[in-house]
Structure 1
């Protein structure tokens, strides 16, 4: 990589990470800054570092593997843990360099989502619940991950189902993935 390529990588407006088997091999300065880490300490670290629990880390493992195996990109919204313990809601995108084994070499980008954005139809709480649904979590699992009661998550989920006229979580996610979202 020449100096111009390195500068473009570091100055990209989104965080960029290259992983091998879910271990960070390289990341740009933007990713380190948004997660609160010293960039020099990240290579060699497991991506587990950005999840509250082993269970949450394991739950994300297989999400998106089908499109990656088919040579397509994968995208969702997810929460990452910062070094200060805070949560960072991001638009996550991934592309594999090894479709036969998608997690062997993966390039990912992370764009922070603001708490309130005029073009977003969801509140921050609703987006965190939807992020959990996107990863296939139950309301209880989402509640545990977010430190909420399961009833609170169920209320948010029911409100979203009504608002988007969806019969279930799968239909809700399809509607939210459409052009209006």
Structure 2
């Protein structure tokens, strides 16, 4: 192992290099953030880390717009670790060529909420959990709060990441 690869693996933040949205290089922090070994993900499409193909394509289009103008971008999003466990991630990326942003890109990945933390809930998050505890579905909760059921699902996913829950039942049991 040379000094450069040692340096990359010692960094407390995930690092990824991609070509055409396929993983060409990453450090061990990136791999472990998503519960993979490096050899399991190098050469694979980033799509495997998104909740759906739609999310992968939609996020790609939005990033391409920013990268074309600025050459770099950042955002926070839910991504999927191995076994479809949601992880709330801050992603920062920079491309070599704004004209062809996905030709070569380098990104950092950082978990927004550490596992095991129990952050304070917003009023909306608390309301959603309370309705979940009453056995209401996402559509029923959405009607009560006058928001879309997809927004309720987004809140649920973010809450699961915030409190380290594996699924909705686990989420309900963790929040009193």
Alignment of 1:67-82 (within 5 A): 67-82=66-81
> How many equivalent pairs are there?
134
Q: Provide structure 1 residue ranges, at least 5 long, that are not aligned to the other structure.
A: 127-146, 158-181
The equivalent of 1:52 in structure 2 is 51
Given that 1:71 and 1:96 are in contact with CA atoms closer than 8 Å, whether structure 2 keeps it comes out as no
| Structure with larger Rg | 2
Alignment of 1:98-109 (within 5 A): 98-109=97-108
SS in 1 for 2:25: strand
SS in 1 for 2:65: helix
The answer as to 2:39 corresponding to 1:43 is no
Deviation of residue 13 (structure 1)?
Answer: 1.0
From the superposition, tell whether residues 97 and 14 of structure 1 become closer, same or farther in structure 2 (CA, over 3 Å).
same
Given that 2:71 and 2:96 are in contact with CA atoms closer than 8 Å, whether structure 1 keeps it comes out as no
The equivalent of 2:166 in structure 1 is none
For 1:87 and 1:41, locate their aligned partners in 2 and report how far apart those are by CA, in whole Å. Answer: 18
From the superposition, tell whether residues 87 and 109 of structure 1 become closer, same or farther in structure 2 (CA, over 3 Å).
same
Alignment of 1:102-141 (within 5 A): 102-114=101-113
SS in 1 for 2:93: strand
The answer as to 2:172 corresponding to 1:154 is no
Give the ranges of 4+ consecutive aligned residues of structure 1 lying more than 3 Å apart after TM superposition.
115-118, 147-150
Q: TM-score, normalised by structure 2?
A: 0.65
From the superposition, tell whether residues 23 and 55 of structure 1 become closer, same or farther in structure 2 (CA, over 3 Å).
same
How large is the Cα RMSD of the aligned pairs? 3.1
Identify which range, 98-107 or 148-157, moves more after superposition. 148-157
Alignment of 1:15-34 (within 5 A): 15-34=14-33
SS in 2 for 1:104: coil
SS in 2 for 1:26: strand
SS in 1 for 2:12: coil
The equivalent of 1:84 in structure 2 is 83
Q: TM-score, normalised by structure 1?
A: 0.63
